[in-house]
Structure 1
């Protein structure tokens, strides 16, 4: 679905209320903008986190040693803490 969003001369734009409701942005919130060769992609914080997790999983799979906790534990062990 395509929506026309007008941008003011100072760079402000408004998302329609029905879109804000569907995205859980009733009270406002952060939107992340990715610039691509084809245009721009807007993501909510939750969508950005889910995308980052999917990308990380693609490279780490289900390897339990790839977690941040496992990494920090290994560093502590190696440093003698």
Structure 2
């Protein structure tokens, strides 16, 4: 789906109410822009977290200690702490 959003001279843009509602932003909220060579990707914070987790899973799926806790435990063990 493509929706045109106009940007005011002061940099503000208004998302249509039905889009805000679908994204769970009816009462306001935060969006993150990701600039890519192909253009901008607009995601809610929850969508961005889910995207980051899916990317991390590609590299950590077969590594049980590939977590923040596992990383810190390994660093402590290597550092003699």
* TM-score, normalization by structure 1: 0.88
Q: Distance in 1 between matches of 2:37 and 2:28?
A: 28
Residue 53 (structure 1) aligns with: 53
1:62 deviation in Å?
A: 3.2
d(CA) in 2 for partners of 1:74 and 1:3? Answer: 48
Q: Which runs of no fewer than 5 residues in structure 1 stay unpaired? A: none
Describe the SS at the equivalent of 1:66: coil
Structure 2 distance, partners of 1:45, 1:62, is 27
Question: Which segments of structure 1 move beyond 2 Å, counting only runs of 4 or more?
Answer: 76-81
Unaligned residue ranges in structure 2 (runs of 5+): none
Number of equivalenced pairs: 81
Give a deviation string over 1:20-74, Cα, whole Å, max 9, x none: 1111112211111111222211000011111111111111223111111111112
Using the TM superposition, name which of 31-40 and 13-22 deviates more: 31-40
What's the RMSD between the two structures over aligned residues? 1.3
Partner of 1:21: 21
